[in-house]
Amino acid sequence: MAAYSFVTEWRLDAPIERVYDALHDSLAWPDWWPAVKSVEEIRPASDRGGIGSVRRYTFKGSLPYSLSFDMTVERLQPPTALAGRAAGELEGTGVWALREEDGQTVARYDWNVRTTRWWMNIVAPFARGVFKSNHDLVMRSGAKGICGLLGGVKGTCVWVEG
């Protein structure tokens, strides 16, 4: 399996609580994040906190395929952290860490995954840059979408190499 580590930061002129709420409500992501084709609940949480819930995410960037994976919520710490473990066509961990800085909310996403599709693993040595560009496009579309969702707030994206 080919392994990837991506770090993305969104700097948003919005209160941290509103950014956290938008990220936490992933069932609504397809409404505002163009690259998210669907999110469906596979298993609800066993408690009111949300830990243990499983949702299936399907993303489509600029490449001619979609990727689906199930994300199990492992940590929720309002309004500063959301974390989960992915299984399926991508396996690994995703962690949103939010903080306030200079009057903005910084939403940092650490995505450490391995691909499980055989053809992706075969072409990985040659296509790593293409896969990274596709990931960046997906995340840029999310930054633009969340800015619109939060009432047209100004927002910028800073891409940090992971």
Q: Which domains does the chain have, with CATH numbers?
A: 3-160 (3.30.530.20)
pLDDT higher at 56 or 119: 56
Q: Give the type of residue at 125.
A: P
> For 78, how many CA atoms within 13 A lie in the half-sphere containing its CB?
12
pLDDT classification of 162: cutoffs 50, 70, 90: very low
Q: What pLDDT score does 161 carry?
A: 46
Q: CB of 68 within 8 A of CB of 39?
A: no
**What value does the mean pLDDT take over residues 46-69?**
92
Q: CB of 16 within 8 A of CB of 96?
A: no
Mean pLDDT for all residues in the chain:
91
| pLDDT of 2 above 50 | yes
